[in-house]
């Protein structure tokens, strides 16, 4: 029996549903319909990578836009509690 190796847990567990919805929207934009029902093992690594890569690209663009609009507090409150992202976000705002 094959065991799942998925150790990815959202930093904010309440965001899990929104992230899944976002994933389906991005997959649809890329022409992969019914992504939630497809066995991901039947897709190529490239196809699965496109979905995750485009999600990341859109989230980074969102954060950059928020920072450029002076909304560092929104980005900081959404950052992981590690503190490193908060320092980077603060430094970027001060440079703008």
The pLDDT of residue 10 is above 80:
no
Q: Which of 9-23, 38-52, 80-94 has the lowest mean pLDDT?
A: 80-94
- Dist CA 41 CA 34 (whole Å): 14
Q: What's the chain's average pLDDT?
A: 79
**Mean pLDDT calculated for residue range 47-52:** 93
In the chain, where the domains are located: 70-96
Phi and psi at residue 80, to the nearest 5°: -60, 155
Question: Mean pLDDT highest for which of 52-56, 59-63, 76-80?
Answer: 52-56
Locate 93 and state its tokens.
């705002």
């Amino acid at each position: 029996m094959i065991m799942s190796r998925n150790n990815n847990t959202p930093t904010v567990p309440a965001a899990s549903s929104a992230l899944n919805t976002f994933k389906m929207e991005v997959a649809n934009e890329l022409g992969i319909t019914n992504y939630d029902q497809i066995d991901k093992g039947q897709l190529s690594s490239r196809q699965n990578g496109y979905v995750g890569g485009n999600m990341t690209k859109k989230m980074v663009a969102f954060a950059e836009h928020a920072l450029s609009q002076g909304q560092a507090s929104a980005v900081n409150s959404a950052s992981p509690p590690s503190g490193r992202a908060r320092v980077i976000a603060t430094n970027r705002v001060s440079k703008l």
